Amino acid sequence: MSLSIAMDGPVGAGKSSIADAVAKRLGILHLDTGAMYRAVGVMALREKIAEDEQEVSRKVQDWKVDVRYVTGDDGEGRQHTFICGEDVTAYLREEATGKAASKVATYPAVRRAMVETQQRLAAEQDMLLDGRDIGTRVLPSATVKIYLTASDEVRARRRLLQLQEQNPGENVCFETVLEDLRKRDEPDMNRETDPLRQAEDAILVDSSFLTFDETVETILRHVSEKRAQA
């Protein structure tokens, strides 16, 4: 039987790295769907139309978004994200890209195009998809649905540690990180089309008091329970 795992949750819940670890343990691919919205953000920024819903909605029909898995030096397969045939992976984590992605992700035409591609990819192979609307829209019949979250304060503290590691010596304030995190969640939770919601049949995993490994093990346990019931 095919296996599809939907993992949704807010910014900074650790979805991407947890999803990577879970997918690896299960021997399936992990599709980071946020990367696809970010790729559209890259193009929209280049064309200076990110704020123009009509233009982006028209052009997104021709902006073919695709992913490929490239094996790195460590033997691990990593997702590379392409738009119009160009590998834009290197630009996806830029701050401006994130902002543009949040904007274009509110446009229904963009969401339609991304959802279609995601459904096609998930139909071709066993996969774990992480995002905001996987359990509610992309894979309503996923084998397992996980809603991964943590308290705002814990998510902000983790983000702060990450920033301090990346920029040692730089003074980053907890309150600013907390405020920024809430600001980033806001458009995802309040947009009209497919806002971030826990699907009714999703299992809530709150990682506030769990380590990384405990979170992975908790999710793997839910996956094997669901598979045993199927």
Nearest to 229 by CA among 126, 147, 144, 139: 144
Contact stretch for ligand DC (CB under 6 A) within 56-64, 82-90, 98-106, 120-128: 98-106
For residues 30 and 38, which CB has a smaller minimum distance to ligand DC in the complex? 38
| Of residues 5-64, those binding ligand DC (CB under 6 A) | 33-34, 37-38
For residues 166 and 229, which CB has a smaller minimum distance to ligand DC in the complex? 166
Kindly write out the interface string for residues 103-122 of this chain, putting x where it contacts ligand DC by CB under 6 A and - elsewhere: --x-----------------
207 binds ligand DC (CB under 6 A): no
Q: Which of 9, 12, 14, 131 binds ligand DC (CB under 6 A)?
A: 131
Q: Which of 13, 26, 100, 133 binds ligand DC (CB under 6 A)?
A: 133
Residue 206 three-state SS: strand
Rounded Cα distance between 130 and 32, Å, is 5
Burial class (CB in 10 A: 0-12, 13-18, 19+), 214: exposed
145 binds ligand DC (CB under 6 A): no
For residues 136 and 218, which CB has a smaller minimum distance to ligand DC in the complex? 136
Residue type, 216: V
CB-based contact 183:45 (threshold 8 Å): no
> At its nearest, how many Å lie between ligand DC and the CB of residue 79?
11
Q: Measure the CA angle with vertex 188, ends 66 and 167; round to 5°.
A: 80
Sign of CA dihedral 120, 99, 163, 86: positive
Q: Which residues bind ligand DC (CB under 6 A)?
A: 33-34, 37-38, 101-102, 105, 131-133, 188
